[in-house]
Amino acid sequence: MAGRRAWEAGMGTVSGRAWLSALSLVVGAVPAFAQGEPVTPDPMSVRRLVDVTSEPHFEPDFNRPTLPATAELNGRLYFLATARAAGTGYPFEELWVTDGTPAGTRSVQAELLPPDTRIDPGSLRATPHRLFFTATSPGMGRELWTSDGTREGTHVTRELNPGRFDGVGYQAPVFVAGDFVLFTPAGMGETEFDLWRSDGTEAGTVPVKDIDPGLSSASAGSFVRAGDTIFFTARSPQGLELWRTDGTEAGTRLVRDLRPGLGDSTPLQLTAVGSTLYFTAEDGQRARSLFKSDGTEAGTVLVMEFLTTSTGPSLHHFTALGNKLLFIISGTSQGIELWRTDGTLAGTLPVTTLPRTMLDGPPGVTLVPVGNRVYVMGRGGASGDSLWVTDGTSANTVRIPRPTESGLESVRGFTPFEGGLAYIVTTALGASELWHTDGSYAGTSRLTRLPAGNPSALPTGLVSLQGALLTTAGDPWTPRALWRMERDDAPPTFVCPVARDVASNRPEGTLVRNLTPALVGNPSQVSVRTTHPDSSLLRLHQPTLVTSQAEDATGRLAYCSTTMTSRDLTGPAINGCPTELTLGTRSPQGLTFYYPTPNIQDETSPDVLVTYSPENGSVLPLGTTRVTMTAKDSAGNVSTCAFPVTIRDGQAPTRACKVSEVRVEAEGPQGAHAYWPDPTPTDSISSQVSVKSSHASGDLFPLGLTRVEVISTDESGNSTPCEIQVRVRDSRPPLLTCPQDQTLTTAVMTGTRAEYPLATAEDAVSAADISYSPVVGTPLAPGLHSVQVTAIDAAGNASLCNFHLTVAYDPTSDMRQGLGCSVGSGPSSGVGWVALLALAWTLSRRLKDGRPRG
């Protein structure tokens, strides 16, 4: 974080969301490369200019990084593309031009040049009015050519060596010096001049100076302009030394013979900082060291001596930064050291140490000056490319964090743009994005996603033209094309993750369903296609770059390249997992528990390992234990089935009833009190057993059957019921008392009606019903009669008794009763007697001789 604080302090405050994910390696956020956040449209759109069958070159050959690959003339960009010759298939460099539009982008090889003309790579140069390059053509060796963009204006400037021999050497220096160029001949022709100039006309292509007199070559090169002076190195009788020129013979002279005599100082790394030239040289007195020059002999002086050797430290990659020079020293014990100098010994100081891997190459390290910063690009390292920025101070020399998680991205093109650096970042699998940085955290963000998905045509090179950026690349539907990126308002943009694990849905991988990413911006009238439509297969565990392309009605394109890997992401399905189980045991130690047989299914893994905790067959104690079944597939995905198992006391206590029936005699109408032995249930597990009864012993029970429910319950709630049948019965008959024997006297020969006193019956429980036979009022003939008395209570208990009833016939009974009862002189007495006499007379008339009369 120290680097971040320094950056914030020296280069601006972090703000905005553009850097939220790009700073993942610094602040721990999600990487920004191809991520779905932020989901606002990218600020640049992508358009296809033209499809090409050749291979355009927008960046220099890494073997000669100082030779430009393109040249801009009159608002048009000229570049070379490797094509194949018809018939032979031999590669050659084809001349192209573009003005940034489809109509203005084309090959001009056949349009401008004679057939079979071959341009040397890295030779394109442009003055304000003309294009220069070196080329060979049939019947002519290698010469300097020029063009104004028309067929008539394209020609050899001057044939320095007529015939098939070369007039200029292969990749000979061609240096733009205002309206003319400086160049060197091949050194094998008839000219003795070592330095020439040309304005594009034959008359204006003239020798400047014979630096090494005679036909020997001066090997002039390393041309650099510092202020109004053009410096270069050349071999002369003084050796290989530093020279200067203004394009005239008089103005072309040796600056200083740093190594007098026949030795060579061999100036290298010529770099201009304002009007001052910096370079390294060997003056014979010390190892290769740092020098500077203002173009005069006196002003060409040592800056600092370095103890460099053929195997030791070396100085290289000189780059101007304002009024200072930045350079790299490699081969030291520290690895790679970045230095700066202001031209004084005191002002020549180390800035920082850079990772040694930045020189793993190729193409190695590149320093790109933009404004008041220099971007240090390390490319080709085993750990991926890296980008640093510096203002020449140690505190503000920091690494721009890698956009991807893996960090193995490569930078496949870069160019100064809008006050900063635009660069292309490509992942190991081929997803590419265009980024821009102004050297600050907040000012580093993605501009757009680039065509991807064609590993044989990754984006290569990046050039700026009229406010837009150009690159070359292919995609799954276009083998190779030229593309234009420019600022735009709400171009279509995918919500695009850099990587995505897709759940497998079959043993061999994932059958694709709806994997096309969503669009933001202006998604109306947009056609979308993808390399992996629905029903295509993503192979299991094989990272695959899935590319989607969207194109709107105006031709703006959006790309999303996501590394998708089919993985077994879901654990096995455990079907029928119980929510809980409750089991009973008859043992105080618990219960041996066996898990239910699981129904386990997995779409990808044929073998699933099932484990148990606690183990299957373990003894679970009384109470609740949480158990877990774990299913693990071959991918390591785990599913669990956890549920509580309650082992409860499954042993009920013994019956509490010692008797099953109690019979008691009713004590009265309300019943009787019943008694039984106290209940004493037992339990093999629970120490306490409670007893509940619907009636207590000694309660008053009504007549009849009463069922007494007795329940013994242990601590676990197990219960055992029993029943005591209490029968209260009235089995005692009433106490029956009959009257004394009775005699009835009647004066009627047929008898009389029964008449006797009532019997009495006593019963403690219920009233008795007394019946007589014969009943009172029954006619009885004279004689002895037995009266049967029955007393029956409510329970049906009966008592019997009898008494005798004698009916005696006494004709005079009525008279005696009258005589004895009515002696007097009253009227009633007289009447009685009259009646009695009448009865007697009647009887006498009916009985004569002892027989009744009829």
pLDDT above 90 for 216: no
Mean pLDDT, the chain, integer:
86
3-class state of residue 427 by DSSP: coil
Each residue's pLDDT tens digit, 669-727: 998 999 999 888 888 888 788 899 999 999 999 999 999 999 999 888 888 999 999 99
Position 714 scores a pLDDT of 85
Q: What average pLDDT does the segment 97-122 reach?
A: 95
pLDDT band at 21 (very low <50, low <70, confident <90, very high): very low
Query: Which of 538, 562, 535, 534 minimizes the C-alpha distance to 549?
Result: 562
Position 838 scores a pLDDT of 52
Alpha helices in 538-635 (DSSP H): none
* In the block, residue with structure tokens 């090179």: 461
Position 306 scores a pLDDT of 84
Cα dist from 102 to 71, 98, 443, 534, whole Å? 19, 8, 31, 34
pLDDT band at 406 (very low <50, low <70, confident <90, very high): low
Which helix (H) or strand (E) element contains residue 226? Answer: strand 221-226
Q: How far apart are CA 670 and CA 481, in angstroms?
A: 115
CB 145 within 8 A of CB 134: yes
573-649: CATH superfamily? Immunoglobulins (2.60.40.10)
Backbone φ, ψ for residue 358 (5° rounding): -65, -15
Q: What average pLDDT does the segment 584-589 reach?
A: 86
CB 94 within 8 A of CB 82: yes
Q: Which residue has the higher pLDDT, 271 or 4?
A: 271
Q: Which residue has the higher pLDDT, 410 or 28?
A: 410
Q: What average pLDDT does the segment 4-27 reach?
A: 34
Position 837 scores a pLDDT of 52
| 614: preceding bond cis by omega (within 30 degrees) | yes
| Fold of the domain spanning 661-729 | Immunoglobulin-like (2.60.40)
Q: What average pLDDT does the segment 322-334 reach?
A: 89
DSSP label of 23: T
Position 190 scores a pLDDT of 59
Q: What average pLDDT does the segment 339-356 reach?
A: 94
CB 496 within 8 A of CB 563: no
Cα dist from 140 to 62, 114, 175, 270, whole Å? 29, 11, 23, 34
Each residue's pLDDT tens digit, 454-485: 999 999 999 999 999 999 999 999 999 999 99
* CATH code linked to domain 735-810: 2.60.40.10
Q: Which residue has the higher pLDDT, 852 or 751?
A: 751
Q: How far apart are CA 426 and CA 462, in angstroms?
A: 13
Torsion, Cα 247 251 252 254, to 10 degrees, reads: -150
Task: Return the minimum-mean-pLDDT range out of 254-263, 578-587, 605-614, 812-821.
Answer: 812-821
Contacts of 2 (CB under 8 A, 6+ apart): none
DSSP E strands in 16-102: the ranges are 44-51, 55-57, 70-73, 76-84, 91-98
CB 236 within 8 A of CB 254: yes
Amino acid at 554: T
pLDDT band at 649 (very low <50, low <70, confident <90, very high): confident
Cα dist from 224 to 57, 66, 69, 278, 296, whole Å? 24, 11, 18, 10, 15
Amino acid at 169: G
Position 403 scores a pLDDT of 66
Alpha helices in 408-484 (DSSP H): none
- Helices 827-846 and 813-821, packing angle to 10 deg: 160
Task: Return the minimum-mean-pLDDT range out of 241-255, 399-413, 837-851.
Answer: 837-851
pLDDT above 50 for 98: yes
Amino acid at 786: S
Q: What average pLDDT does the segment 353-375 reach?
A: 86
Task: Return the minimum-mean-pLDDT range out of 105-109, 256-260, 383-387, 555-559.
Answer: 383-387
Maximal C-alpha separation, the chain: 221
Position 409 scores a pLDDT of 81
Each residue's pLDDT tens digit, 134-193: 999 998 999 999 999 999 999 999 999 888 889 998 888 999 999 999 999 986 655 678
Q: What average pLDDT does the segment 232-253 reach?
A: 95
DSSP E strands in 505-657: the ranges are 509-511, 519-520, 527-530, 537-539, 544-551, 557-567, 573-575, 581-585, 591-592, 599-601, 609-613, 619-620, 623-632, 638-649
Each residue's pLDDT tens digit, 53-66: 999 999 887 677 77
DSSP label of 121: T
* In the block, residue with structure tokens 């405050």: 13
pTM reported for the whole predicted model: 0.70
Domains 661-729 and 735-810 alike in fold: yes
Q: What average pLDDT does the segment 495-512 reach?
A: 90
Regarding beta strands 638-649 and 581-585, do their DSSP bridges make them parallel or antiparallel, or are they unpaired?
parallel
pLDDT above 50 for 209: yes
| 38: preceding bond cis by omega (within 30 degrees) | yes
Task: Return the minimum-mean-pLDDT range out of 34-48, 117-131, 802-816.
Answer: 34-48
| 606: preceding bond cis by omega (within 30 degrees) | no
CB 343 within 8 A of CB 303: yes
pLDDT above 90 for 12: no
Tokens of 775: 């009943």
Position 699 scores a pLDDT of 92
Position 846 scores a pLDDT of 47
Query: Which of 59, 65, 99 minimizes the C-alpha distance to 81?
Result: 59
Torsion, Cα 256 262 266 267, to 10 degrees, reads: 0
Q: How far apart are CA 527 and CA 550, in angstroms?
A: 6
Position 22 scores a pLDDT of 32
pLDDT band at 525 (very low <50, low <70, confident <90, very high): confident
Backbone φ, ψ for residue 470 (5° rounding): -125, 145
Tokens of 216: 């020997």
Which helix (H) or strand (E) element contains residue 388? Answer: strand 386-390
Position 321 scores a pLDDT of 96
Each residue's pLDDT tens digit, 283-327: 998 889 999 999 999 999 999 998 766 666 789 999 999 999 999
Position 815 scores a pLDDT of 65
| 363: preceding bond cis by omega (within 30 degrees) | yes
Each residue's pLDDT tens digit, 33-42: 544 445 688 8
Which helix (H) or strand (E) element contains residue 465? Answer: strand 460-465
Cα dist from 752 to 384, 466, 743, whole Å? 148, 159, 11
Cα dist from 197 to 67, 144, 160, 177, 331, whole Å? 19, 10, 12, 9, 39
Upper half-sphere CA count for residue 431 (Cβ side, 13 Å): 28
Each residue's pLDDT tens digit, 744-800: 999 888 889 989 999 999 988 889 899 999 999 999 999 999 999 998 988 899 999
Position 840 scores a pLDDT of 52
Break the chain into its structural domains and give their ranges.
Answer: 573-649, 661-729, 735-810, 814-852
DSSP label of 35: -
Contacts of 162 (CB under 8 A, 6+ apart): none
Task: Return the minimum-mean-pLDDT range out of 334-338, 568-572, 734-738, 766-770.
Answer: 334-338
